[in-house]
A and B are shown apart, each in its own frame.
Chain A
Amino acid sequence: MTVPEPAARRPRGQTLGAGAAVLAALAVGHVVVTAFPVDERVQASFVRPAVVGEPVELRYARLTAGEPAGSTVLDNDDGTLLATPGVWLTVPLTIEVVGRPRALSFAELLGGDGRTYTVFTGGRSWFLPGTAQPGVPRYATVRVELPPEAVAGAHLRIGSEQKDQRRDDVADIDLGLTQADADAWASDDTPVVAGAWSDEPPEQP
């Protein structure tokens, strides 16, 4: 019977040195990550600025915003009217997708008051243009409710994916709105119409 020899003991200095090296590596990593916070920049969207009436080229679509409108009453174009404690803002969009059929689903409004107004694919503040085909312009309207004080200076952002806009193109459209627009809409109860998407251009008033 052979008795296994006890394992050679590692010198204490070598063990302590290895431990110190690991701790030093962790400390250096922490310093690098905190001193150079690049995560947000790496994941940031590619923001493409635009103004009303000017097409903006995105990776997945060519987008043109029409003249915004507003009121205290929204006409869903289905027989129902929606009230709001603020004002309704509608922005008509022309979407020309690139390469393959696409369903744009992200929209949000950056208010002039610094707050973000959520637009979802369902609910009161709404953007749902459906799947657009390449070569066939899609006409859809974004609608969002907001306080009058957020109207002046508001920007509309449109993107491809509702849940995730990281590392992707996002249109940032300066709506060119002023306090005069906000005041006029806040005192107007003529319903502003926001119907469903269409492949036919909307009728001009």
Chain B
Amino acid sequence: MPGPAAPPDLRARARQSGSTVARRVLDQPLRRIGLGGAIVLLAATAAFGGLQEQTQDGPEALTVDAPVEVAPFELTVHRVVWTTDLPGQYLSEDGNRWIGVVATVRNTSDAGLLGGTLRDALTLTDVDGLVKEHNPIVPGVTSTSIALLEDGSSLSPVQPGLTYEAAFLFEQDGSVAPPTSATVLVQRHTWRSSSLDPTAAWWDPTTTLRGELDVREAVSDADEEVDE
């Protein structure tokens, strides 16, 4: 059986201190200390639900035109399109293109929210050539901007009780072919206090829905009239 994990001088000091608990702990081998620590940790987490069965294995399937509740928003994703020209929106380089996720947005909380929370609520993945890089805090790539379809303005703040039609815009490198499909991730936030500040806010975007959607080229209203 292996000997005690603690060095001899530490064990000697424990003996001199007269503490029976310290002496017995330091006389234990490392394996026993590790095992005991693991049992204590498991017991502590079990008291707060650590042994409860997980209710969800992973994100549910996202389907188009179906409203989903992802606190603090209700989102309805309608379609994913790409275009090279959007009035009022400026690409970082000529030749790039926009990939737009068109959605209906409602803030279901009791207070207005800035656009950053909405931006983290819907992200894109499995698309080559996105100009913006992955944010380590949010799954997927966040949009460059969120534009209102009605007037092209940036959707922020998002006020409660209003229903907005908007496009989450992601810039793609023009040297890469336009995608034929894209995976949309939808995140739910949690209302809690910050670790550093008692002020409560929406934190921890966690993916609850995921859907691989077809991407097609956007058709302008004028084109649609010609088609008709």
Q: List 14 A-B contacts (CB under 8 A).
A: A7-B16, A9-B18, A113-B161, A117-B112, A118-B113, A118-B114, A118-B157, A120-B156, A122-B156, A123-B156, A124-B156, A146-B161, A147-B159, A147-B162
Would you call A193 an interface residue if the criterion is a C-beta within 8 Å of the partner chain's C-beta atoms? no
Residues on the B chain within 8 Å of A145, using CB: 159, 162
> Are A124 and B153 interface neighbours, CB within 8 A?
yes
Would you call A85 an interface residue if the criterion is a C-beta within 8 Å of the partner chain's C-beta atoms? yes
The interface bits of chain B over 160-188 (1 if a CB of A lies within 8 angstroms of the residue's CB, else 0) are 11111000000000000000000000000
The interface bits of chain B over 6-26 (1 if a CB of A lies within 8 angstroms of the residue's CB, else 0) are 000000000011100000000
User: Once the chains are docked, how many angstroms separate the CA of A124 from the CA of B107?
Assistant: 15
CB-contacts of A138-154 with B (<8 A): 144-147, 149-150
Residues on the A chain within 8 Å of B155, using CB: 124
Residues on the B chain within 8 Å of A115, using CB: 110-111, 160-161
CB-contacts of B68-127 with A (<8 A): 110-115
> Are A86 and B161 interface neighbours, CB within 8 A?
yes
> Are B161 and A83 interface neighbours, CB within 8 A?
no
Interface size on A, residues (CB 8 A): 31
Would you call A37 an interface residue if the criterion is a C-beta within 8 Å of the partner chain's C-beta atoms? no
> Are A116 and B110 interface neighbours, CB within 8 A?
yes
User: Once the chains are docked, how many angstroms separate the CA of A119 from the CA of B111?
Assistant: 11
A83/B160 contact (C-beta < 8 A), A9-B18, A118-B112 known: no
> Are B18 and A7 interface neighbours, CB within 8 A?
yes
User: Once the chains are docked, how many angstroms separate the CA of A150 from the CA of B112?
Assistant: 13
CB-contacts of A19-60 with B (<8 A): none
Would you call A79 an interface residue if the criterion is a C-beta within 8 Å of the partner chain's C-beta atoms? no
A83/B111 contact (C-beta < 8 A), A145-B159, A147-B161 known: no
Nearest B-chain residue to A85, judged by Cβ: B162
> Are A125 and B159 interface neighbours, CB within 8 A?
yes
The 4 closest A-B pairs by CB, nearest first: A118-B112, A118-B157, A9-B18, A147-B161
Would you call A205 an interface residue if the criterion is a C-beta within 8 Å of the partner chain's C-beta atoms? no
A119/B157 contact (C-beta < 8 A), A84-B162, A85-B163, A114-B110 known: yes
Would you call A13 an interface residue if the criterion is a C-beta within 8 Å of the partner chain's C-beta atoms? no
User: Once the chains are docked, how many angstroms separate the CA of A83 from the CA of B161?
Assistant: 16
> Are A82 and B153 interface neighbours, CB within 8 A?
yes
> Are B162 and A86 interface neighbours, CB within 8 A?
yes
Residues on the A chain within 8 Å of B63, using CB: none
Would you call A136 an interface residue if the criterion is a C-beta within 8 Å of the partner chain's C-beta atoms? no
Residues on the A chain within 8 Å of B17, using CB: 7
A125/B110 contact (C-beta < 8 A), A83-B150, A85-B162 known: no
Would you call B206 an interface residue if the criterion is a C-beta within 8 Å of the partner chain's C-beta atoms? no
> Are B154 and A123 interface neighbours, CB within 8 A?
yes
> Are B151 and A82 interface neighbours, CB within 8 A?
yes
Which of the residues B16, B110, B150, B161 comes within 8 Å of A149, measured between beta carbons? B161
> Are B159 and A4 interface neighbours, CB within 8 A?
no
Residues on the A chain within 8 Å of B153, using CB: 80, 82, 124
Q: A81-B151, A146-B161 are in contact. List 7 more A-B contacts (CB 8 A).
A: A6-B18, A10-B18, A85-B150, A115-B110, A116-B110, A145-B159, A147-B162
> Are B159 and A123 interface neighbours, CB within 8 A?
no
CB-contacts of B32-50 with A (<8 A): none
Which of the residues B18, B154, B161, B164 comes within 8 Å of A150, measured between beta carbons? B161
Nearest A-chain residue to B160, judged by Cβ: A115
